[in-house]
């Protein structure tokens, strides 16, 4: 039984514990996650999505083995024990190739799964819910399950060929809307019905048996459903336990399985605690982390503008805006409205399409200049109080330094602390 299976068993035994998955490839986010997990003395789950990382490089330019090397290198740098590090793959399936026929897309998905498993990713989300170019919309439950089982069989075969055994754990199912936040304004989202959740489980279990991988069914630890949480560009739909009450009980019948909740970004601390209590014990967080990072960096730009001569300023905000306008493919189909509304969304949207642009070398250089400018001066406390009041308080309490990078990391960790407290609260209370 691996670490995640043990975690699930503890939760099923009444531990009220959970785990959060950091879904980001940004170095500052990963560093903040290491720091938080070290402070908590906890396991750290880092996940790459099929958009970020694939066998062709994804939008980060990294293959699965590249991503693993990137994370392990950072783990060594920050003295994080690798036995407490778990790598996961999110929405692994034909997602990236929906414009191709199902046959072509699934061939790519086969290679995607094999690349993730061979690279040492241990938590695999099998998601074949999306329709390809020649598919009906939506797909039937049976088709989704059959394709997921096909990928599961490849994952098992790859693990056996690469490592001589398989200790992979799987997550099945998907959420609605699409991963990464809704592209349109939402007023409500429909909670997955207990009947739909049961059907997803039953069809996948049958498909696993048909694909001759029934023996790994007990390693299916998670079911992705919609518990009624979501965010769009400017709003957040909060978790309402009453609406998910019937759904919550579905996994009681499956001793090896909890729910995995996606799009939990921007929920309240109380909501995270309640989600874990209601068996949504795997919480995914992504855009909220880079959103917090962006807030911190832009606040540092405001401080920079007050104390650094304009000719020497980093112009980070202007640089990002220019790059996003020059290469609009990552946001254009998501941000609508007039020019002013699009500009607002590019900067401030909760869906944070800006995260696709941080790897750009020009933007990286501007960020380096910002850090250099502010590390060479003493940031006046009144300015820190004005633009980063939480970090001002932490500085005054001696918890962090005034180094600009430390201020950004602490801002990111504000998000992570909420997840950490929700996932470990019961255990902390018992100490």
Residue by residue, DSSP assigns 382-422 as HHHHHH-HHHHHHHHTTSS-S-HHHHHHHHHHHHHHHHHHH
Distance between CA atoms of residues 22 and 33, nearest Å? 7
Task: Give ranges for CATH 1.10.400.20 in the chain.
Answer: 291-421
pLDDT at 366 exceeding the cut of 70? yes
Rounded to an integer, what distance in angstroms lies between the CA atom of residue 177 and that of residue 174? 9
Task: Please enumerate in sequence order all residues whose Cβ is within 8 A of that of 157, keeping only pairs 6 or more positions apart, or say none.
Answer: none
Could you tell me if 345 and 233 are in contact, meaning their C-beta atoms sit under 8 angstroms apart?
yes
pLDDT in tens, 281-311: 999 999 999 999 999 999 999 999 999 999 9
pLDDT (mean) for 337-343: 97
Rounded to whole angstroms, the Cα distance separating 117 from 337 reads 42
pLDDT of 320 strictly over 80: yes
**For the chain, what is the mean pLDDT?**
95
416 is written with which tokens?
């992570």
Rg over alpha carbons for the chain, rounded to the nearest Å, is 22
Cα separation, 153 vs 57, in Å, equals: 24
Which token pair is 49?
């999505």
**For residue 180, pLDDT beyond 80:** no
Considering Cα of 173, then 175, then 177, then 180, what sign does the dihedral take?
negative
Per-residue pLDDT, averaged over 121-126, amounts to 98
pLDDT at 175: 80
What integer is the mean pLDDT of 33-42? 97
E strand residue ranges, 166-244: 169-173, 220-225, 230-231, 236-237
Instruction: Assign a CATH topology to domain 291-421.
Output: GI Alpha 1, domain 2-like (1.10.400)
Is pLDDT above 70 for 425?
no
Q: What pLDDT was estimated at residue 273?
A: 97
What was the pLDDT predicted at 185? Answer: 56
Averaged over 232-249, what is the pLDDT? 96
What is the pTM for the complete model shown? 0.94
Q: Which tens digits make up the pLDDT trace of 126-160?
A: 999 999 999 999 999 999 999 999 999 999 999 99
Kindly give the residue spans of alpha helices, DSSP state H, lying in 15-168: 27-40, 64-77, 102-118, 141-163
Average pLDDT for 173-187: 58
pLDDT at 424: 87
- Running DSSP on this structure, what letter comes out for residue 218? G
pLDDT of residue 177: 43
> What is d(CA 279, CA 249) in angstroms, rounded to the nearest whole number?
8
Within the chain, all domains assigned CATH 3.20.20.70 are found at: 3-286
CA distance 293 to 355: 10
pLDDT of residue 176: 54
CATH of region 3-286 = 3.20.20.70
Q: Are 102 and 134 in contact (CB under 8 A)?
A: yes
- Confidence band of 344 (pLDDT split at 50, 70, 90): very high
pLDDT at 210 over 80: yes
Distance CA 223, CA 211 (A): 19
């Amino acid at each position: 039984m691996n670490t995640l299976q043990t975690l699930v068993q503890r939760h099923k035994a009444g531990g009220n514990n959970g785990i959060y998955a950091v879904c980001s490839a940004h170095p500052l986010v990963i560093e903040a996650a290491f720091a938080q997990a070290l402070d908590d003395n906890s396991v750290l789950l880092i996940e790459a999505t099929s958009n970020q990382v694939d066998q062709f490089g994804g939008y980060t330019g990294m293959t699965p083995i590249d991503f693993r090397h990137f994370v392990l290198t950072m783990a060594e740098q920050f003295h994080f024990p690798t036995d407490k590090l778990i790598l996961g793959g999110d929405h692994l399936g034909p997602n990236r190739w929906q414009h191709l026929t199902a046959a072509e897309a699934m061939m790519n998905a086969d290679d995607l799964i094999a690349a993730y498993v061979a690279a040492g990713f241990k938590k695999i989300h099998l998601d074949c819910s999306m329709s390809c170019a020649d598919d009906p919309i939506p797909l039937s439950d049976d088709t989704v399950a059959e394709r997921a089982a096909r990928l599961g069989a490849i994952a098992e075969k790859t693990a056996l060929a690469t490592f001589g055994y398989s200790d992979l754990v799987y997550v099945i199912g998907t959420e609605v809307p699409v991963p990464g936040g809704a592209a349109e304004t939402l007023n409500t989202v429909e909670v997955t019905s207990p009947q739909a959740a049961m059907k997803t489980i039953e069809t996948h279990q049958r498909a696993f048996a048909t694909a001759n991988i029934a023996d790994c069914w007990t390693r299916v630890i998670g079911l992705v459903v919609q518990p009624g949480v979501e965010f769009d560009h400017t709003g957040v739909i909060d978790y309402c336990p009453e609406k998910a009450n019937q759904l919550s009980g579905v996994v009681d019948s499956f001793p090896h399985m909890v729910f995995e909740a996606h799009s939990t970004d921007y929920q309240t601390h109380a909501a995270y605690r309640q989600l874990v209590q209601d068996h949504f014990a795997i919480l995914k967080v992504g855009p909220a982390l880079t959103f917090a990072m962006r807030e911190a960096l832009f606040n540092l730009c405001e401080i920079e503008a007050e104390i650094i001569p304009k000719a020497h300023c980093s112009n980070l905000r202007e640089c990002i805006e220019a790059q996003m306008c020059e290469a609009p493919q990552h946001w254009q189909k998501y941000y609508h409205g007039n020019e002013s509304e699009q500009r607002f969304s590019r900067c401030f949207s909760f869906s944070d399409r800006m995260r696709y642009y941080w790897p750009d070398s020009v933007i990286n250089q501007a960020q380096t200049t910002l850090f250099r400018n502010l590390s060479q001066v003493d940031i006046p406390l009144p300015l820190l109080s004005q633009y980063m009041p939480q970090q001002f308080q932490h500085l005054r309490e001696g918890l962090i330094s005034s180094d600009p990078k430390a201020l950004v990391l602490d801002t990111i960790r504000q998000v992570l602390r909420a997840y950490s407290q929700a996932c470990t609260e019961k255990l902390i209370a018992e100490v």
